[in-house]
């Protein structure tokens, strides 16, 4: 089954994030209306600063039945929950603490294990169990892209890209962007999605966005190309600056 790809370019970052909030809330609520529940994977980085505060406010907050939403994380920096770099912490502060999501339906990466491999094994299991409870698919996976082309914590040419296809979570060591130890869901996990939404804003992302979306490309150089949810939707929402080279 082919992937349905949609690219939307917005004049300004504000319009991009408003459109992303509208799309995500519509997709989550459609899932709830059709299947009685929704499963989402959140990324960190700029989304915590610009998208999540919108989702936490009117009108988007009221448009999602948050008690019926389960939350996983697309990736996590392997630092304690109270570290400023922790994505769960940032997502809680900007979104989850402001909406009536059920605490037991939020699944942070357990960064309190001494060995990240143990956390990855547990996160694999939790992701598999949640996917099974949601018909085998995420309803929405939200992803960013770094200026170097990384998405979640999948970095270009990194050995983590060669993770066996049956693994849903992987430890990423020696990440070129700090902090160096991370945990990421894998392309296998992201491809089990009804909708994947990439969001990119700003001139620093322009080359990476163009490399991801134009020409034949190379999935090792552009890990975003590994994410092709069969039979699902793939959205790229970018502002004019990030889409300048398209």
Interface positions with ligand LXAUTJHC (CB under 6 A): 43-46, 74-75, 77, 87, 144, 146, 152-153, 177
Strand partners, 237: 8, 199
Residue 81 token pair? 């929950």
- Which CB, 152 or 161, lies closer to ligand LXAUTJHC? 152
In 10 A of CB 84, how many CB atoms?
8
Minimal distance in Å, beta carbon 152 to ligand LXAUTJHC?
Answer: 6
- Which CB, 223 or 229, lies closer to ligand LXAUTJHC? 223
Nearest to 41 by CA among 75, 5, 12, 81: 75
Minimal distance in Å, beta carbon 23 to ligand LXAUTJHC?
Answer: 17
Minimal distance in Å, beta carbon 166 to ligand LXAUTJHC?
Answer: 23
| CA atoms of 232 and 5, how far apart (whole Å) | 9
Minimal distance in Å, beta carbon 144 to ligand LXAUTJHC?
Answer: 3
| CA atoms of 95 and 17, how far apart (whole Å) | 14
Left (φ > 0), alpha (ψ -120 to 50) or beta: where does 47 sit? alpha
In 10 A of CB 178, how many CB atoms?
10
8-state DSSP, 68? G
| CA atoms of 90 and 83, how far apart (whole Å) | 9
Half-sphere exposure (CA, 13 Å, Cβ side) for 120?
A: 22
- Which CB, 77 or 194, lies closer to ligand LXAUTJHC? 77
| CA atoms of 213 and 241, how far apart (whole Å) | 15
- Which CB, 29 or 191, lies closer to ligand LXAUTJHC? 191
- Which CB, 46 or 228, lies closer to ligand LXAUTJHC? 46
- Which CB, 32 or 172, lies closer to ligand LXAUTJHC? 172
Residue nearest to ligand LXAUTJHC (CB): 45
- Which CB, 60 or 155, lies closer to ligand LXAUTJHC? 155
Minimal distance in Å, beta carbon 36 to ligand LXAUTJHC?
Answer: 29
Minimal distance in Å, beta carbon 38 to ligand LXAUTJHC?
Answer: 20
Cβ partners under 8 Å of residue 244, min gap 6: 203, 206
Minimal distance in Å, beta carbon 146 to ligand LXAUTJHC?
Answer: 4
């Amino acid at each position: 089954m082919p992937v349905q790809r949609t690219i939307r370019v917005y004049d300004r970052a504000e319009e991009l994030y408003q459109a992303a909030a509208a799309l995500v809330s519509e997709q989550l609520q459609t899932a709830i209306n059709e299947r009685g529940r929704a499963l989402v994977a959140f990324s960190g980085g700029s989304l915590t600063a610009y998208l999540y505060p919108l989702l936490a406010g009117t009108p988007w907050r009221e448009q999602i039945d948050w008690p019926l939403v389960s939350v996983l994380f697309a990736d996590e920096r392997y630092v304690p929950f109270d570290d400023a770099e922790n994505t769960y912490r940032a997502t809680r502060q900007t979104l989850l603490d402001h909406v009536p999501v059920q605490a037991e339906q939020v699944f942070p990466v357990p960064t309190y294990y001494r060995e990240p491999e143990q956390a990855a094994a547990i996160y694999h299991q939790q992701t598999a169990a949640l996917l099974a409870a949601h018909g085998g698919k995420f309803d929405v996976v939200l992803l960013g892209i770094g200026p170097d082309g990384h998405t979640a914590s999948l970095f270009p040419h990194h050995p983590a890209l060669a993770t066996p296809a049956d693994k849903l979570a992987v430890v990423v060591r020696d990440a070129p962007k700090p902090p160096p130890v991370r945990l990421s869901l894998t392309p296998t996990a992201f491809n089990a999605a009804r909708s994947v939404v990439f969001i990119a804003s700003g001139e620093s992302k322009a080359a990476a966005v163009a490399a991801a979306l134009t020409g034949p490309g190379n999935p090792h150089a552009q890990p975003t190309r590994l994410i092709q949810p069969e039979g699902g939707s793939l959205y790229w929402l970018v502002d004019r600056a990030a889409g300048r080279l398209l």
